[in-house]
Each structure stands twice: as structure tokens, then as C-alpha cells.
Amino acid sequence: MTLSDASAVMGAAVPLDPALLTRADRAELLRYMTMMRTAEERALSLYKQGKVPGSFYDGRGQEAISVGAAFALSPRDRLCILHRDLGAHFVRGVTPDRYLANYMGRADGVTGGKDGNLHFGDRARGCVGMVSMLPDMALVANGMALAMKMRGEARVALTFFGEGSTANGQWHEAMNFAGVQRLPVVFVLENNRFAYSTPNELEFAADPVERAEGYGLPGAEVDGNDVEAVFAAVHAAVERAREGGGPTLVECQTMRMHGHGAHDDMGYVPAELLAKWEARDPIQSYAARLLEEFDFADEEVERITEEVRAYVAECAERALASPMPDPALAREGVFADRWEPLGDGAAPWSGWAEPTAPQPIDNRVERRAA
Amino acid sequence: MPELTYLEAISDGLRTEMRRDESVFCLGEDIGAFGGAFKVTAGFAAEFGPERVLDTPLAENAIIGAATGAAIEGMRPVCEMQFADFIACGFDQLVNVAAKLHYRQGQSVPLVVRLPSGGGFSGGPFHSQNPEAWFLQAPGLKVVAPATAADAKGLLASAIRDPNPVCFLEHKGLYRHVRDEVPAGEYTVPLGKARVAREGGELTVIAYGSAVPSALAAAEALEEDIEVLDLRSLWPLDAEAILATARKTGKVLIAHEATRACGVGAEVAALIGAEAFEDLDAPIRRLTAPDVPIPFSPTLEAAVLPQLDDVKEACGELLAY
Ligand SMILES: Cc1ncc(C[n+]2csc(CCOP(=O)(O)OP(=O)(O)O)c2C)c(N)n1
Ligand SMILES: [Mg+2]
């Protein structure tokens, strides 16, 4: 069997208005992608040291997608972030210490030990944590978008899912409902070529992005390893949704560069396929582009990398210092006493740096200090 | 006080809550222009508009998922399953997403799922089920099953105002056969509180939903000193009321239309066995449907669903013990 490699979209032209991103935005995009890579590398080493109970998953090679997509959102938008999308949590203001603590089941993890790995969403930052069942969160994002639409708010819900999840019946329910109700929702599909070990060829007969039209919504296909291309496509979809134009499916072509989880040696992935995508690493290629096209100096790029490394190292210390949760908490919190609204997330894109934007949150201050 | 049928009381409760709070809205299949398979929302679209009486595609996970997301965003959605049986098709969103969100991350999900349940009219294996026990194995869900029109209204209002997902089992057999006085205007009945439906000293029938009118009818027909405890809420259970009546009469029959194994009756029996063993004068008995699907043909269905005579017989045996 020949496996799909997405060559069709590689190097595809990206219709991005260059004025949308400032120099500082570009530095931020690189910073967040680097933060995701560095934090996941640290988490993997903690896993290998036996400090992470259960299993370990990362989004290596897919950093451009969660960072580029989340970067297009305003503070009041809402997200359901999935298991390859750590960068989106960072963009919204979650700090690496809380991510690492969550992996280790510590009290200061985002869920305080109630749930593991990427199964979290920071309520204070407008996120609803994913469940394992895929792609359940697409239906929840629909519901948030439905509330926004009913109240006539110019807000958007965004969620991610892998290409494998598009085979599940709930994906059909989600697309159809969003299409019928013209919901202000953006679906970001990450086609990383595999669902666990199952390749595209055994997942579907028609590519999901081609199915979008059948649900009455536009589908856009982008190079998922190009952070600006992802940003451009998601930004356009978000603006469309905000203006009442309804949902969009954005398919990002990429490659899962690690196994499904740390336990998976990826024996089923041809070496040539990996090599081909290794050469298209989203972080290295963006760094190179900043130097070549956007006039960044080597030292600037290096400084971002160094600052992030130092910051993640400091966060790891904090996570390791966090205690295990009090066993008494295991019996608490099944029921709510009252409803409380989600908070607003950070929106670091300069496009939101208007007087209405929220005050900088702790994380941003910390990052600057780092 | 006006007399309403159980069905009218549900509509009244829903309408009252929708007038009171504009974040309350309904979603489900054929509930708008058509008013729902059982007409609970008849006239609602005209009063509240199609957005708040939202006709959805045939997709139960989409309904519950949308309700979950909308609830997180501050709405108070009330989902209608066309028949309770179809919750199986939306089960994943209910038990894996909605039920666990508060435990996992402190996210309240104030939604109600209305479940027209129960048999007795040749609905067959897919339109007659009493799925309440499914929900009891999913921590994070509250479960209510009213037996009177007043409770149907009051429990629905409380379910809507509760910050958690609540499964509201409305028995189809009671829709037009039960009629009682229902307070007009805003009216709530607290979740988690049982009700002594009939006072007695010799034996208690603990029941809910359609088994409550059967228990009351049996007690009247037998002319015996029988107490009837209507559970009203199946989760949280009113342990205090259950233990109080068990201690008072010393003989307990638990009656429900749902199947037996691991059902509500099993939980109630275990509670009494553990906490009130010394006060019992007879073994705890259960009267339930046997562990079979609900068959279609009237003679087969009647052989499966507990009948009034079965309740009388079970009471008689326990009284004679
Ligand atoms: C409904 C469902 N079935 C099975 C699984 C187990 N599982 C976890 S991830 C995964 C593969 C998902 O593939 P895809 O949607 O492409 O996302 P990716 O992991 O590649 O990012 C599977 C089968 C699941 N999470 N949900
Ligand atoms: Mg995949």
C-alpha cells in the first residue's frame, strides 16, 4: 500500500495579508511553538524517569497547528483543545508548570490530579477539557457556538480533532448540526497521516475536507507545518464565523513525528515518510523563514530558544515541587453547587491589542521575566 | 388549585421556567412546529420562537453535546429524547462528557434530559424501556422520576435550576392517566427528597414512577395498613426517608417497572440491608420486570410488566410473613 504523504499541499501558496502579523507576533509564534516542543520534551523525559503515571502523548511535528490556530482567537472566544495541541493551551495562558504537574498527577496540575495528560481545559482561560472519546468535543464546541449565536454575540468556538476521528459517527453529527444551524464554530482537523497505527488509506475513502461541502460548510486545506498558513486559514474562518457566516473545516496536513504514545515504536511508519517530514519541521522552518524573509537576526531566534528553555526548566522545577493531591479529594466534586462562567483566555496576537483586550495575565508577565 | 394531567404539568413547568429565565431553551427532534412526539411542547414555538424550541436533526449525541456546550456557556438547555430509549444513541455525550466535567475540572453543566419512558402500550423493545439504572452507574448525573402531576412540574423546575446534568424520567403511561392538583405559577420540588404517598404501619412499598399509582391502588384494594414511599429522586437517593420507613414498618417491598438486575431496587435493598437489618421483620422483596427486553405483543408485554395483581399478591405475601 502506498501511504498518503500530503505532497499536494506542501509548499502551497498561503493567502496571508502580511500586515496581519507584526514582527512581535512572529516572534511570539516561534516562542509558543518552541515552548510546546520544549515542554513536551521535558514531559517525555519525566515519563522516562517514571515520574508520569499512566501513558504519555505529545504533538511533536504538529506545533504549528495548535499555536497558529489559537493565535487567531480573541479573549472571549472559547476552545476545546485536543491531545496534540499543547501549544493552544500555552497561547491561552496556561503555564508549562501546570501542564507538567498535570502529567505527573500533582495537586497543581490543571485538573488537580482528577485527570491526566492533555485531558484538561483551564476554565479561567475559556477552555473546556477534552474527553478521550473522539471527536466528542466537536459537539460540545457546537453547543458553545449555539449559545453565542442565540445571544447574538460576535464570538466563536474552536476545536481540534485528528483525521482518524472523522470516521466516527459523532463527527458526522457535529458537521451536520453546525451546517444546519450555521454555527460560529471553527473545526481544525489535523491530518497527521495516522490514527494510532491506522493510515489514511484505511480511515476513509474520501478526504474529510472534501466532505465539508456535503455538510454545507466550506473546507480549507492548508500546510499544517506552516504556522502562518494555519493562522491565515483559521483567522479567515474565525472572522467568517464572527460575522455570521457559519462554520468552517480547516484541514491541516501534517505528520505525527512520534508514536501515538511513548509506548509506540511506530514500526508501521515507513522511514522515508518520516524523513520527508523531518525536513519540514515546523519550528526549524519557521525560524529559517524569520531569518530569511523577516529580517530576524540569529541572536534573536537563539534568544527566544534560550529564554524558553530556561523558563520551561524553571517550570519543571515548580511542577516537581508540587505535592501529590490529598486522597480525600478523590471523593469530592462530583456535583456542582452553582454554575460559574468560563473566564477569558489570553489573546497574544497584536490584532487584539485593543483597549477592550483583557489585562496581561500572569503567564505573560512571567514569560517576559523569563 | 388547578387539576392538570401529568403531561400538562410537565408542559406547565417547562413553560413557567422558560418565562422566568430566558436562558432556558428546549432542543430535540420534532419539538417545534409539531410540539413533540407527545405534545409536551405544543404551542411553545409560537410563544418562545423557534430558537428557544429548537428542532434538531435526528442525532442524539449532537443534541446532548450541544446542550452541554450551551450549558457551559450559561444557557439552561432542556433536551427532549423522542423516547427514553434513544438516550442510548446520546449516551456517550451524557456519561463521558456532561457527567464528568465537574469532577474533572470544576465545570458545572446545568442541563436536563427529558426521557419519555416506560411501557404498557405495545411500544415494543425500543419504545418502552426504563433506562434509569444506566444513569446510576454514571457518577455526576442526577436522576428523577416523578409519579404525580405536581411532582412532575416541581421536579422539572428544580432539575432546570440545578447546576448539574439531570435525567428526568417521565413515564408515558402516566402522561394522560395521572391527574392531580398542581400549584399554578412558579413551583419547585427539591431534588433528593422522597415523599410518603400513603401512611401505614405494617408494610412499606418503596416505589417510583408508574409503580407509585400501582402501589397506592394495591394498598386501597387490600385495605391494609400499608405505607407507600415515592422516591421521586433516584439519585441522589433519600436514604433518610428510606431507612425511616423501613424501620417504621419492618417489611419492605420495592416495586419498579424497570428490569431487576442492578436496578434501583437492588440499591435500595442493599441500603436497607446494611443500615436497618435489625429492624426488619421479613426479607426485603422486589417486584420488577424480569431481566428481558420489553416484548411487543400485549399478552407478552403484560407478562413482563408488573401488574396491579402482582403488587397485591406481593404485598399479601409479605404481610403474611
Ligand atoms: C471513540 C474512540 N475510540 C477509540 C479511541 C482510542 N484512540 C485514542 S487516540 C486514537 C487515534 C486517534 O487518531 P486521530 O483522530 O487521527 O488523532 P491523532 O491521535 O492522530 O492526533 C484512538 C484510536 C478514542 N480515543 N476514541
Ligand atoms: Mg491522526
Predicted local distance difference test score (pLDDT) of residue A18: 78
In a domain, A350, yes or no: no
Distance CA A65, CA B176 (A): 55
**Residue tagged 515541587 (cell numbers):** A321
**Residue tagged 505525527 (cell numbers):** A256
Where are the alpha helices (H) located in chain A, listed in sequence order? 23-48, 63-70, 86-92, 96-103, 136-150, 169-181, 200-203, 208-211, 227-242, 271-278, 282-293, 298-321, 362-369
Distance CA B223, CA B217 (A): 10
Grid coordinates representing A67?
499555536
Predicted local distance difference test score (pLDDT) of residue A13: 47
CA angle A144, A94, B109 (to 5 degrees): 30
Band of residue A2 on the pLDDT scale cut at 50, 70, 90: confident
In a domain, A180, yes or no: yes
If one counts the domains in chain A, the total is 1
Predicted local distance difference test score (pLDDT) of residue A369: 34
Say if CB A110 and CB A122 are below 8 A apart: yes
Distance A83 CA to ligand 1 centre (A): 9
Q: CB count, 10 Å around CB of B211?
A: 30
Predicted local distance difference test score (pLDDT) of residue A8: 62
In degrees and rounded to multiples of 5, residue A369 shows phi and psi of -70, -30
Distance A196 CA to ligand 1 centre (A): 7
Distance A163 CA to ligand 2 centre (A): 5
Q: A136-150 and B60-72 are packed helices; what angle lies between their axes, rounded to 10 degrees? A: 60
Grid coordinates representing B251?
417489611
Question: Domain B195-320 is of which CATH architecture?
Answer: 3-Layer(aba) Sandwich (3.40)
Mean pLDDT computed over B18-43: 98
The percent of residues in chain A predicted with pLDDT above 70, rounded, is 93
DSSP code, position A113: T
CA atoms within 13 A on the CB side of B153: 25
Predicted local distance difference test score (pLDDT) of residue A17: 83
Cβ-based neighbours of A53, under 8 Å, separated by 6 or more? A104, A105, A116
Expressed as residue numbers, the domain containing A173 is 11-322
In a domain, A43, yes or no: yes
Nearest protein CA to atom 5 of ligand 1, as residue: A133
Buried b (16+ CB within 10 A) or exposed e, A245-277: ebbbbbbbbbbbbbbbebebeeeebeeebeeeb
Predicted local distance difference test score (pLDDT) of residue A9: 66
Mean pLDDT computed over A132-157: 98
What sign has the CA pseudo-torsion B76, B80, B84, B87?
Answer: negative
Enumerate the residues of chain B whose CB falls inside 8 A of the CB of residue A146.
Answer: 66, 69-70, 75
Distance CA A95, CA A99 (A): 7
Band of residue A6 on the pLDDT scale cut at 50, 70, 90: confident
Distance CA A123, CA B76 (A): 19
Distance CA A216, CA A211 (A): 9
* CATH 3.40.50.970 segments of chain B: 3-181
Which residue out of B61, B102, B160, B233 would a mutagenesis test of the A interface target, given it has the greatest number of A Cβ atoms within 10 Å? B61
Say if CB B143 and CB B233 are below 8 A apart: yes
Q: Note which residues in 97-136 of chain A have CB less than 8 A from chain B.
A: 110-111, 114-115, 119-121, 123, 128-129, 131-133, 136
CA atoms within 13 A on the CB side of B87: 26
Say if CB A186 and CB A145 are below 8 A apart: no
Contacts 24+ apart (CB under 8 A), A16-22: A16/A228, A16/A229, A16/A231, A16/A232, A17/A232, A20/A231, A20/A232, A20/A235, A20/A351, A21/A228, A21/A231, A21/A350, A22/A350
Distance CA B110, CA A338 (A): 9
Q: How many Å is the Cα radius of gyration of chain A?
A: 19
- pLDDT at position B56 over 80: yes
The burial of B42, by beta-carbon neighbours within 10 Å (0-12 exposed, 13-18 middle, 19 or more buried), is given as middle
In a domain, A158, yes or no: yes
Q: A96-103 and A298-321 are packed helices; what angle lies between their axes, rounded to 10 degrees? A: 50
* CATH 3.40.50.920 segments of chain B: 195-320
Q: CB count, 10 Å around CB of B9?
A: 32
Predicted local distance difference test score (pLDDT) of residue A75: 97
Band of residue A14 on the pLDDT scale cut at 50, 70, 90: low
Say if CB B102 and CB A336 are below 8 A apart: yes
E strands in chain A: 78-80, 157-162, 185-191, 194-195, 198-199, 219-223, 248-253
Predicted local distance difference test score (pLDDT) of residue A262: 97
Band of residue A370 on the pLDDT scale cut at 50, 70, 90: very low
Grid coordinates representing B95?
456519561
Residue B105 to chain A, least CA–CA distance (Å): 5
Q: B292 or A12: which carries more pLDDT confidence?
A: B292
In a domain, A351, yes or no: no
CATH assignment of B3-181? 3.40.50.970
The residue type found at A174 is A
Residues of B catalogued as catalytic: 127
Q: Is the CB of A82 under 6 A from ligand 1?
A: no
Q: Which atom of ligand 1 is nearest to the CA of A203?
A: 16
Mean pLDDT computed over A183-211: 97
- pLDDT at position A12 over 60: no
Distance CA A191, CA A198 (A): 12
Say if CB B169 and CB B117 are below 8 A apart: yes
- pLDDT at position A124 over 60: yes
pLDDT digits 0-9 by tens, A278-327: 999 999 999 999 999 999 999 999 999 999 999 999 999 999 999 999 99
Supply the CATH number for residue A138's domain. Answer: 3.40.50.970
Q: CB count, 10 Å around CB of A280?
A: 18
Residues paired with residue A159 on neighbouring β-strands, in sequence order? A80, A187
Predicted local distance difference test score (pLDDT) of residue A358: 41
In a domain, A370, yes or no: no
